[in-house]
Amino acid sequence: MDLSVLKELTQLFGPSGHEEEVRNYLLQKYEELGLTTLQDPFGNVFGLKKSLLSNPKKVLLLSHMDEVGFVVTKILENGTVKVTPLGGFNSETILSSRAILKKQNGEFLYGTALALPPHLLTGKGNDKTSIEDMCFDFGFISKEEAKKEITIGDPLILEGKFSLIASGKRVLSKALDDRMGLAMAINMLPLLKKELPFDLYLGGSCQEEVGLRGAKPAVNFIKPDFVIVIDCSPATETEEGSLNHGVLLRVFDRAMIARKDLIQFQKNVLEEHQIPYQYYISKGGTDAGEVHQACEGIPTLTYCLCARAIHTPSSVLDVKDFENAVMGLKYLLESLSNEDIAHFRYEK
């Protein structure tokens, strides 16, 4: 399977609230795929594949565009900057990482994450450096020099190049959470072999990493009848949540209790087409947490893969998992009927 879309998406700059590059990329890709493009006032984007039927149901595939990152909150006298995180970080994964800052004019600055000496840490004797103790160095020698280039509120991310490792069996990159989901939908669309009985929307949501903020505007804009949220979950390296073990049947997380009938539908389709799957329980959440409560309650299925070291610039994804998941998504859509959707919506 061609991984070029995944590579291109992961390398775009797009922390929460600053998804412009990803948004523009998706709009172009959706047009290339012959989809009608839409954008809501919040900044979420969609590509529509119309059904040939009259009055069809609406199905939305939703993946979030944003990646974890930071914004500048203070410029120090020595020209380095303090930041606040956009999304969840383990602080131990940040120090000495290369950083990319996007200026107000769209140009990029390149630097690194530093830390104060141990005797100046607020923890006093604690070897773990908190994010509030860190500073980022972009090479400026003074506050005055830095202020000519950097503005409070400028976004930055950690640099993480895309590489195929283990003889092409694994992907190493930043932002697999959740550019993987966006790439999965794009890779899947040309594989559909039959006309779908519903309108299909491919969607990219904003600001998932800072509280699922884009999900509700997205579904209020599209008003779908059924939603599949595609996301990337942390590999726990247990029997549930391991690389090369397939699609996640995500039955429970802190934001949503999955419906048993939807999990059974997912399981039946995957088994029929011999797509590997594994059960998964998460302490985190996805856009599904907001989606399934919107518009009087939308039947919502999560469709996830796991990756190692998500929310770092060095996440690892299994290529076979990705390929199988793309095919599984195709089979799910080809198996889904308007009658199924009506049943899941408890329509009489």
8-state DSSP, 211? T
Kindly name the residue from 67, 149, 208, 209 that is annotated as catalytic: 208
Asked if residue 290 lies in contact with residue 160, where contact means CB atoms within 8 angstroms, the answer is: no
Strand order in the sheet with 163-165: 163-165, 170-173, 315-318
- At a CB cut-off of 8 Å and minimum separation 6, what does 216 contact? 290, 291, 294
Determine the Cα–Cα distance for residues 298 and 22; give it in Å rounded to an integer: 26
The C-alpha atoms of residue 136 and residue 154 are separated, in whole angstroms, by 12
Pairwise CA distance, residues 298 & 259, whole Å: 11
Task: Indicate if 92 belongs to the active site.
Answer: no
In DSSP notation, 239-307 reads SSS-TTS-EEEEEE-SS-BPPHHHHHHHHHHHHHTT--EEEEE-SS--THHHHTTSTT---EEEEEEEE
What's the half-sphere exposure (Cβ side, CA atoms, 13 Å) at 112? 6
* Active-site residue list: 208
